[in-house]
Amino acid sequence: MNAVAESSPPKTRPSISRRAPSRLLVGTLLLGDSAAIGAAFAVAYAVRFKTSLPVFQAVVPSLQFYFSLILILIPFWLLIFAVSGLYDERNLLGGTGEYARAFNACTAAMMLIITAGFLEPTFVIARGWLLLSWGLTFLFVVTTRFFLRRAFYRLRKRGYFLYRTLIIGANEEGKALAEQLQHWPASGLQLVGFVDDALRPGTEVLNGLRVLGPTEELQALVQEHGVRELVVATTALPRRTLLGIFQQYGTSPLVNIRLSSGLFEIITTGVQVKEIANVPLVSVNRLRLTGIEVALKTMLNYAIVLPGLIAISPLLLLLAVAVKLDSRGPVLHRRRVMGMGGREFDAFKFRTMHMDAHAILEAYPELKAELQSNYKLKDDPRVTRVGRFLRRWSLDELPQLFNVLKRDMNLVGPRMISPPEVKEYGKWGMNLLTLRPGLTGLWQVSGRSDVTYEERVRLDMQYIRNYSIWLDLHILIQTIPAVLHGRGAR
C-alpha cells in the first residue's frame, strides 16, 4: 500500500482553527441573506399595498398577517438556500454560478408557497406581492452577495480568510498552478510550499516557495503547517501515489483535495466534468467565454461603441482627410490578423505608412531584422508625418471600432496578431485564439511597445485566464490615461 496511506496519523490540531474562516463566511452570508430577504418582502409589501399602481387591485391588507408571514418565510427561504448549496463552501464566492443557484432557490421557494396556496384554500396571499417578492428577493440577495464577495476579496488580499495550501508536484504543471494562485490572492488559497518526490526538501521551486518534503510525509506536513487545501498536479505523480493521496484525503472533512486537469499550463479555456455511462470524463471548453459572460461582454461592446462612434464621427472624418492629404494611397489600411477560433479577418486602421513602405525598409537591414524579431519598430522610417501623430495617440486604431461592431473584435481582449506571429506564442497559441482580439488590453495599459514580446505573451495569457467583466472595466478605465500620456506609443 502507498506510504501516504500507511503512515500513522500524528496528533491533530483542533478542527476549529481550520473551520473558523468558513464558519464566519457562512455566518456573514446568513445574516446578509436574512436582511436581504426581509427587506425584499417589506419593499414588495410597500409597492403592492402602499402605492396606487393601476396593475394592482385595491385591497386592504392585514399588516399583522403579512408581518407574521414574513417572519416565517425568512427561515424557510434560508432553508431552501441551504438545500440549494448556497452555504456550501465549495459554491461560495463563485460569481455567476452562485447567482444561478440563488435564482433557482428563489424560484423553488416561491413555487412551494404557490403550491401551499393551492392545497390550503384559506391560505390567501396577494399574487402581486408574491410576484414582487420573487423578483426582489433574488435582486436583493444577489446584490448583497456581490458586495459581500468584494469585501471578502479585499480582506483576503490583506491576509484574512485564507486557507493554507500545499501543491503536490513541482513539475511544470505544478509551477504553473502556483504562479496562477500567487497572482490571484482573492482565491483564498495561501501557498505554503510544494510536496514532491523528485526534489530534495528545501529546494526553491518558485518565488520563495520550497519543497517541504516527499509525498510519504504528506500527512505530517498537513498537520505541521495547518493545511486546509491540497492542490494536486496530476501529471507529476504516478497513479499509485495519486490513488494513495485520494484515499487519504478524498473524504476528509478537514482537508479539501483539488485535482488539476493535467493540462493547466497549456489550456486556459476551462474544463467540464460530465458523467457518461457513470464514468466521469473531462472535456475542454473550445472557447474561453460561455453563457452570461458572452452576453455581458457583447453588451459592454455595443453600449460603448455605438454612442462612441456617433460622438467621434466628425473626428474620424477630419483624420481621414488628413491621411489623404498627407501622402498618396487609401485612407484605410486592412491588416490581415487572427480572430477567434483561428478565423482570419481584416482589421481596419487609418493608413500610417507610405505606399512604398517595403522599398523603404530594404534600405535599413538592421530595422528589418528587428521587425522580424519583434513584429514592431519604435523608430519606423516607413511611417508618414500624419501617421506618426496618429500612432502617438493611438488614433490610427479608431476604425477598429467597426470591427467591434462586426464582432471580429472586442473592446478589451488579447493583443491582435498576424498569422505568422502565432508560432511565437508556442504552446499558448491555441489559447490566444479562444477569445476575440481586443482594441485595448493588459498589453495596452502596461506600456505597449515598451513591453518585451515575452511579456506581451504573458499578459495575454494572464488576461485570458483571469477574465471577468470587472477586469474589462478596469482596463478600459486605465486605457484613457495610458493613451493620453502616450505610454509606450509606437
DSSP 358-372: HHHHHT-HHHHHHHH
pLDDT of residue 12: 37
In whole angstroms, how far apart are CA 379 and each of 171, 266, 361, 366, 371? Answer: 42, 35, 12, 12, 11
pLDDT of residue 77: 93
pLDDT of residue 3: 42
How would residue 166 be classed by pLDDT, with cut points 50, 70 and 90? very high
In this predicted structure, the answer to whether residue 96 has a pLDDT above a threshold of 70 is no
Question: Which residues are CB-contacts of 378 (< 8 A; sequence separation ≥ 6)?
Answer: 449, 490
What are the tens digits of pLDDT across the range 12-67? 333 334 455 678 888 899 999 999 999 999 999 888 888 877 666 666 667 888 88
How would residue 97 be classed by pLDDT, with cut points 50, 70 and 90? confident
pLDDT of residue 487: 54
Find the largest Cα–Cα distance for the chain.
93
In whole angstroms, how far apart are CA 388 and each of 144, 327, 379, 391, 416? Answer: 49, 13, 10, 5, 20
DSSP state of 446: T
* Domains parsed from the chain with CATH numbers: 16-157 (no CATH), 162-265 (3.40.50.720), 292-484 (no CATH)
Write down the pTM of the prediction: 0.62
Query: Mean pLDDT of all residues in the chain?
Result: 83
pLDDT of residue 347: 94
pLDDT of residue 10: 38
CA dist 29 and 374 (Å) reads: 50
In this predicted structure, the answer to whether residue 406 has a pLDDT above a threshold of 90 is yes
pLDDT of residue 447: 65
Contact 48/56 with Cβ under 8 angstroms? yes
| Mean pLDDT for the stretch of residues 238-253 | 88
Q: Rounding to the nearest 10 degrees, give the CA dihedral for residues 316, 317, 321, 322.
A: -30
| Mean pLDDT for the stretch of residues 119-146 | 86
